[in-house]
Amino acid sequence: MRGTEFLPVSREEMRAREWYYYDFLVVMADAYIDHPSFGSTLIARLLEAEGYRVAVLAQPDWHDCTPFTDMGKPRFGVFIGGGNLDSMVAHYTVAKRRRDKDLYSPGGKMGCRPDRATIVYANRAREAFGSGTPIIIGGLEASLRRFAHYDYWDDKVRRPILFDAPADLLVYGMGETATKEIARRLSKKVPVEDITDVRGTAFLSQNAEKCIYRPVTVPSYESVLEDKKAYALATKLQYDENDPIRGCGVVQPCQGRFLIVNPPQRPLPREELDRLYDLPFVREVHPMYKEPVPAIEEVRFSIAHNRGCFGGCNFCALTFHQGRMVTSRSIESVLREAEILTKDPQFKGYIHDVGGPTANFRHASCPGQKKHGCCKNRSCLAPEPCKNLDADHSEYTELLRRLRALPGVKKVFVRSGIRYDYMLQDKNQEFFKELVDYHISGQLKVAPEHCVASVLDYMGKPHFDVFERFWRKYQRLNEADHKEQYLVPYLMSSHPGCTLRDSVRLAEFLHRTGHLPEQVQDFYPTPGTLSTCMYYTGIDPRDMTEVYVARSPHEKALQRALLQWGRKDLRPLVIEALEKAERTDLIGYEEKCLIRPQKGEKYFGKKPEEPPAPQRREQGRGGNFRHKRPENPGQKGKMPQRKKDAFAKKRRGK
């Protein structure tokens, strides 16, 4: 169902509804877009569906508490969401430079929300409403910062966020179930300090015995601040217990009090997930904004069909936020949303994405996961797929087929990340073929990230031979259908465990395959990931072994430059990197060389005689992977006619 009415954003709009009180205030760090892709909007609509009067305060001026007091005091409490991105990630690049745009704000303008938005908004709400109003924080920012955590921007370990945000409760993960239960109890006048047993929540206590679940105590804030081994151990324990079936409560002492984190909530069952996405979202930006909010365009004609990810990438925060247990919407629910899209006047027949954290996951990774939870110390996919892995794309294939058949739909794209290693484990290759035939807009994006096995092990990714098998199969399918479609690989530099020599090996592979990336992602140490723990401590928390870490901006620049060796502006960095890696054999005239010497350089010399270069893969548009088309034997050794015509035309012009 498509709604026609936004939630009230001011006291005037509440009066227009003849509301002279309201129950909950939902504070958003993003602009108010009434669409299910935005977590705070989902929570607001869920509370409304439970029968509560809900008002929205989106990106309020945080310099004083006036915007909060202007809304009036809610009867039951305030829910605060830090936005679809951590506010520091939204504001700063990996080089810690201020970004030019905030896609979640009107006009893409920066400055519509503060750094560390959850903490700032919680303080303003407490100033406005006093200690008698319950404040609950949630969303990605709060979820990933629930424990003592390394903060890349401050370059130090910060306390659990509840010590800085004066809130009564923290909801972590996908918070619908916990939010409903908290709202129900608050509406029954249960004191917020007595709500200590809800799964998927965290709170502060003077007494560790307040944890009613079997507790696991992790090293204290003071310990992880002083001892990096203690930090790594704490991270491992936190990940071990982040399971809704076998997980325990986690207790972390901090400055005379205790952070108590209850075990995670179970994922929403399919029926409840369907009900959530059937709520009456307007699917538009609120009309109070005079400028468009760019973020809507990314999701306006996209559909999220799943949650959770058992991919296990160590640099990704999804494991710690959404969890490893995958759940998905029914085909009928997704079709209902697609039919809503087809009735939008702006719809041109193209569904831009049917995805989620990982597009091709629809169910738990194995049958035993639902009963016993996810395995400790074991990834479902890397470095080798688990023997119990249930790799089945049949339901996802059926979903895409039925979407393609809807009246008004011309094309259905899959643009979210896919796990190609999971695809290769499926004995039925129908999905792979249909993906190539119907669901690619000229480019398929995948994430091999690197080619060196040791680096991939630190990343939690499959080894590179898996990507090469996928690549060959992808090429064969395209050639069989006479399609010219590209593969766009995401690559990462400077991940913990990656040395200059490892980066050289990746550059050699890219050079050999005729690929020159336009963009390379530097590793970004975001809160709450295993890779961030490695970056800060130099320790792999999974086995407590030492890890090499490139920390200095200059070394990061050297690694990144190696992967973009063809850029003239990066030439000095590439030469320096090759010298430091003792690989100056790659500066020269041979086919294997990354760069040619220039006059005045010490490597400059006479070009040696070279044998004819072997046929190699050609660089496609934008540096993407493609096969070189076979040469026409009739034209071998001759100038093509089109080139002759071009030269003749040029001469006539002169």
Instruction: Check: CB of residue 381 under 8 Å from CB of residue 390.
Output: no
313 is in an annotated binding site: yes
Q: What share of the chain is helix, strand, coil (3-state, %, to 5)?
A: 35, 15, 50
Treating both helix axes as pointing N-terminal to C-terminal, what angle do 430-438 and 464-480 enclose, rounded to 10 degrees? Answer: 60
Q: How confident is the model at residue 639 (pLDDT cuts 50, 70, 90)?
A: low
Its CATH architecture, for the domain 300-432, is 2-Layer Sandwich (3.30)
The pLDDT confidence band at residue 621, using thresholds 50, 70 and 90, is very low
Predicted confidence at residue 513, as pLDDT, reads 86
**Mean confidence (pLDDT) of the chain:** 92
Confidence of residue 11 (pLDDT cuts 50, 70, 90): very high
SS3 label, residue 616: coil
Q: What is the dihedral of CA 50, 105, 342, 271, to 10 degrees?
A: -30
Provide the pLDDT for residue 645.
64
Calpha distance 104→516 (Å, rounded): 31
HSE toward the beta carbon, residue 268, CA cutoff 13 A: 23
Give the mean model confidence (pLDDT) for residues 225-234: 98
The amino acid that residue 370 corresponds to is K
Mean pLDDT of 144-160: 97
Residues 299-313, mean pLDDT to the nearest whole number: 95
pLDDT per residue as tens digits for the range 355-376: 999 999 999 999 999 889 999 8
Which residues lie below 8 Å from residue 310, measured CB to CB, with a gap of 6+? Answer: 324, 325, 326, 361, 364, 365, 369, 374, 380, 381
Assess whether pLDDT exceeds 60 at residue 192: yes
Given this model, what pLDDT does residue 4 score?
A: 82
Q: Tell me: is residue 316 an annotated ligand-binding position.
A: yes
Could you tell me if 323 and 172 are in contact, meaning their C-beta atoms sit under 8 angstroms apart?
A: no
Q: Give 604's pLDDT tier (boundaries 50, 70, 90).
A: low
Q: pLDDT at residue 648 above 70?
A: no
How large is the average pLDDT for residues 182-195?
A: 98
What's the CATH number for 442-569? 3.30.750.200
| CATH architecture group of domain 11-199 | 3-Layer(aba) Sandwich (3.40)
Runs of H (alpha helix) within 159-245: 176-187, 221-226, 228-240
Distances in Å between the Cα of 564 and the Cα atoms of 450, 497, 557, 633 are 14, 20, 11, 34
| Domains of the chain by residue range | 11-199, 300-432, 442-569
Reported as type and span, the H/E element at residue 170 is strand 169-171
Spatial neighbors of 631 by CB under 8 A, at least 6 apart, are none
pLDDT band at 416 (very low <50, low <70, confident <90, very high): confident
Nearest to residue 297, comparing CAs of 307, 280, 281, 285?
285
In the chain, % of residues over pLDDT 90: 84
Q: Report the alpha-carbon distance of residue 465 to residue 424 in Å, rounded.
A: 12
**For residues 65 and 122, is the Cβ–Cβ distance under 8 A?**
no
Q: Do domains 11-199 and 300-432 have the same CATH topology?
A: no
- Peptide bond before residue 383 is cis, with ω within 30 degrees of 0: yes
Q: Is 360 exposed, middle or buried (0-12, 13-18, 19+ CB in 10 A)?
A: buried
Contact 362, 395 (CB under 8 A): yes
pLDDT tens-digit series, residues 320-362: 999 999 999 999 999 999 999 999 999 999 999 999 999 999 9
How distant, in Å, are the alpha carbons of 349, 396, 488, 623 from that of 485?
A: 21, 22, 10, 13
pLDDT, residue 634, reads 39
Q: For the segment 49-106, what is each residue's pLDDT rounded down to a tens digit?
A: 999 999 999 999 999 999 999 999 999 999 999 999 999 999 999 999 999 999 999 9
Q: How confident is the model at residue 647 (pLDDT cuts 50, 70, 90)?
A: low
| Residue 141: its H or E element | helix 139-144
Rounded Cα distance, 195 and 27, in Å: 21
Give the mean pLDDT of 433-453: 93
Residue 646 has what pLDDT? 61
pLDDT at 641 over 80: no
Contact between 118 and 87 under an 8 Å Cβ cutoff? The reply is yes
pLDDT of 616 strictly over 50? no
129: left (phi over 0), alpha (psi -120 to 50) or beta: alpha
Of the pLDDT bands very low, low, confident and very high (cuts 50, 70, 90), residue 618 is very low
Split at pLDDT 50, 70, 90, the class of 630 is: very low
Residue 521 identity: Q
